[in-house]
Protein backbone atom coordinates (compact mmCIF):
# COMPACT_ATOMS: atom_id res chain seq x y z
CA UNK A 1 0.00 0.00 0.00
CA UNK A 2 1.21 3.54 -0.65
CA UNK A 3 2.20 5.59 2.37
CA UNK A 4 0.92 9.16 2.71
CA UNK A 5 2.92 11.96 4.33
CA UNK A 6 1.95 15.60 4.60
CA UNK A 7 3.18 18.86 6.05
CA UNK A 8 2.56 19.37 9.74
CA UNK A 9 0.32 22.34 8.97
CA UNK A 10 -2.29 20.03 7.45
CA UNK A 11 -2.35 17.93 10.61
CA UNK A 12 -3.62 20.99 12.47
CA UNK A 13 -6.86 20.71 10.48
CA UNK A 14 -6.96 16.90 10.71
CA UNK A 15 -5.39 16.11 14.11
CA UNK A 16 -6.75 12.56 14.25
CA UNK A 17 -4.38 11.68 11.37
CA UNK A 18 -1.30 12.81 13.30
CA UNK A 19 0.89 10.07 14.77
CA UNK A 20 -0.69 7.51 12.45
CA UNK A 21 0.82 5.75 9.51
CA UNK A 22 -1.54 6.81 6.79
CA UNK A 23 -1.88 4.51 3.81
CA UNK A 24 -4.34 3.96 0.98
CA UNK A 25 -4.85 1.43 -1.81
CA UNK A 26 -2.81 2.15 -4.96
CA UNK A 27 -4.50 3.95 -7.84
CA UNK A 28 -4.63 7.39 -9.39
CA UNK A 29 -3.86 10.45 -7.29
CA UNK A 30 -7.59 11.21 -7.38
CA UNK A 31 -8.36 7.77 -5.91
CA UNK A 32 -5.66 8.14 -3.25
CA UNK A 33 -6.99 11.57 -2.22
CA UNK A 34 -10.52 10.16 -2.10
CA UNK A 35 -9.31 7.37 0.19
CA UNK A 36 -7.69 9.96 2.48
CA UNK A 37 -10.95 11.91 2.45
CA UNK A 38 -12.76 8.74 3.60
CA UNK A 39 -10.44 8.69 6.64
CA UNK A 40 -10.57 12.47 7.18
CA UNK A 41 -13.83 13.93 5.82
CA UNK A 42 -13.26 17.39 4.38
CA UNK A 43 -9.64 16.73 3.42
CA UNK A 44 -10.23 17.02 -0.32
CA UNK A 45 -12.29 20.19 0.18
CA UNK A 46 -9.19 21.71 1.72
CA UNK A 47 -6.66 20.77 -0.99
CA UNK A 48 -8.84 20.61 -4.14
CA UNK A 49 -10.69 23.48 -5.81
CA UNK A 50 -14.31 23.49 -6.95
CA UNK A 51 -13.38 21.68 -10.19
CA UNK A 52 -11.50 18.92 -8.36
CA UNK A 53 -8.01 20.18 -9.32
CA UNK A 54 -5.20 20.78 -6.84
CA UNK A 55 -5.36 24.25 -5.35
CA UNK A 56 -2.52 26.61 -6.33
CA UNK A 57 -0.87 26.41 -2.92
CA UNK A 58 -0.84 22.58 -2.81
CA UNK A 59 1.84 20.32 -4.29
CA UNK A 60 1.70 16.53 -4.41
CA UNK A 61 4.71 14.31 -5.07
CA UNK A 62 4.89 10.60 -5.71
CA UNK A 63 8.24 9.55 -4.29
CA UNK A 64 10.59 12.19 -5.79
CA UNK A 65 8.35 13.30 -8.67
CA UNK A 66 5.88 16.19 -8.59
CA UNK A 67 2.44 15.22 -9.87
CA UNK A 68 2.06 16.41 -13.45
CA UNK A 69 -1.71 16.19 -13.90
CA UNK A 70 -2.89 18.81 -11.40
CA UNK A 71 -6.39 18.96 -12.93
CA UNK A 72 -7.37 15.35 -13.61
CA UNK A 73 -5.12 13.82 -10.92
CA UNK A 74 -4.49 10.82 -13.15
CA UNK A 75 -0.85 10.18 -12.15
CA UNK A 76 -0.57 6.61 -10.86
CA UNK A 77 0.43 5.72 -7.33
CA UNK A 78 1.91 2.22 -7.11
CA UNK A 79 2.06 -0.17 -4.20
CA UNK A 80 5.03 0.83 -2.01
CA UNK A 81 5.13 4.46 -3.21
CA UNK A 82 5.16 7.41 -0.82
CA UNK A 83 2.83 10.31 -1.57
CA UNK A 84 3.89 13.66 -0.12
CA UNK A 85 1.30 16.45 0.21
CA UNK A 86 2.74 19.92 0.71
CA UNK A 87 0.88 23.10 1.44
CA UNK A 88 2.62 26.41 0.88
CA UNK A 89 2.25 28.89 3.70
CA UNK A 90 2.04 32.62 3.16
CA UNK A 91 1.26 35.67 5.13
CA UNK A 92 2.76 38.82 6.41
Report the alpha-carbon distance of residue 81 to residue 59 in Å, rounded: 16
Number of structural domains (the chain) is: 1
> What's the CATH code of the domain at 80?
3.10.20.30
Report the alpha-carbon distance of residue 9 to residue 89 in Å, rounded: 9
Query: Does residue 92 fall inside a structural domain?
Result: no
Query: Does residue 35 fall inside a structural domain?
Result: yes
pLDDT means per 10 residues in the chain (92 residues)? Answer: 89 79 94 94 93 94 96 97 86 60
pTM > 0.75: yes
Range of 41's domain? 3-87
Contacts of 25 (CB under 8 A, 6+ apart): 1, 2, 31, 32, 35
Pairing of strands 65-66, 58-62: antiparallel
Query: Does residue 81 fall inside a structural domain?
Result: yes
Amino acid sequence: MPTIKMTSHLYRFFPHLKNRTLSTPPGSVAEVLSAINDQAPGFTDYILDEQGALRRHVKVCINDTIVIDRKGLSDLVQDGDTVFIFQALSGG
